[in-house]
Structure formats: structure tokens, C-alpha cells
Chain A
Amino acid sequence: MKANPWIVVALCGLPVCSVLADEVRKGGIGMEVLPSRLTAPVRDVSDDESLLARRTERGTRALKVVARRNTGFGFLELSQFIGNGSTSTVLPKGAVLFCPDQWSSRLLSAPDGRIVPLAEFVAANRNWIALHEVSPAQVRGEVPIPDGEREAFAVHGKLVIATIAANPVSVLPSNSNSPQKP
């Protein structure tokens, strides 16, 4: 099948225009996507030996591979999970202000079941979870949580989570408070 020379010439104009206009080059097949000025090949693509030879020639030292370092703030070490057996949610470590003994089995160190947002988890488990707004000073441990409020926690018998603007926050133990460690 002989390619029609006139069609080939007309279509070759297109790639030339796009190169001049510096537009995004489109992919495709056929002669129209060929670069307008074809030159001769200058070399073979590298194969493994020639690439290794180039590396050693430049003095590139072989690099030793080690396990990925995790020197930052890890996820698990700063998280606390609570779950009811089928769903669980993520909290910052230290966000649980008070945990009655009967719910202590619901404090988890790893998620169990489907992970859901805190708002949904609290809505579904309102019978044993309560949220408690704290102030930044209480978060820093400078101001303790008043005893009256602590007694209220015990009376209600629910698991209490510290929040600021409805988002969970960890609370540092203050000097006069004994921390409720999960």
C-alpha cells in the first residue's frame, strides 16, 4: 500500500506548528507524529553493562540499602483506638480523660473492624461515650480539670474524651491530677 505523498506532506505541517508554538505534544501513531527534522541515531540505548561502566567511571559509590528509617512521629505511637467490636475510631493518645472499668476492654491499641470518623462513632455509641470540651491551659497541664467535673465523670459512668471545638485532643497530666492512663 503506497502512502499518498501529498497527504504525508500536508500532515507533516502539523507537528512543525506545534513545536513552534511550544504546545503540549499529543501522542498518536503514524507519520504525522514523527518529529519534523529527523536526524541519524547517535548511539544505542544503554544496556546494563554500559550503565554500570558509566557509574564506576564517574566514581559513584555503590550505596548500601537499609530498612526505611522512621525517625519521625509515628502514627501508632501517638494514637489511641476505641472500638465496640464491629467499628473503631482513632484518637490522639492521652485524649481519654476517664474510663470506667466496665469499658476498659474497649480501649484498643490497634483498630478492630471498620474505622469510622469520631463523630459517627460517638453518635452510634452515645450510651457509653461522652465528649468533654477542655481549654488549652488544661491541655498543657497547667490547669487541672476541676474535681467536680471529675466526679461527674464517675457518676455518669461513660468513657470521656477531651475535645477542643469537637475535635479530639490529648491532655497532659497536670500536677494535681492523676492521669487516667488507658
Chain B
Amino acid sequence: MEHEVSLDRVYSPSKDIVARDVMGELIIVPLASGIGNTEDEIYTLNETGRAIWDRLDGRTNLREIAKSLAREFDAPPGEIELDIQGLIGELFHRRMVIAV
């Protein structure tokens, strides 16, 4: 699925998955068919991914999320924007997020 991630767009978790916090770790469990390669697979995000995911509230666009993370982690916004675009691109491809 081709999709160009725009920093000016708002994304939110897809209804095709269930995101759970288990022992402090974010677990993404497929709900709809066609997500994942096997019936046994589950997904987690790395630390960066988790920080971004927690800000996908369906209202804030990715550029604002990048600014918020840059302030919190005292990191260059450009780097964070690249991470966000990489993660959201992958999650969109996997049908785990949708563009609002």
C-alpha cells in the first residue's frame, strides 16, 4: 500500500488492531485478518516507537508530535521527524494506523 507520510497529517491507531500495555510494554495484537505473516505473531514497538505511539491521539499532527518529543528528549526535531515518518510509514503499511 503506497502512502506518503505527511508531517502535517493526523494519524491514529487503526481499529484493525488492539494495543495493550503488558508489564509496561506496548503490545499490538492484530484484530482484523491480513495483519501479520502468521497466526502466532504479535508486535511491540521500540522505545522511540512507543513514545510516538503514545502521542497518536487522533487530534495532533505529526509535526506537533515531533516538536513535543524534541522538547521532551532534547533532540534535534529533524531527526525525530525522520523517525516519525519511518515509524508511521511502517505502521500504515501494516494497517496499524490510519490517517485521520
Are the chains A and B members of one assembly?
no
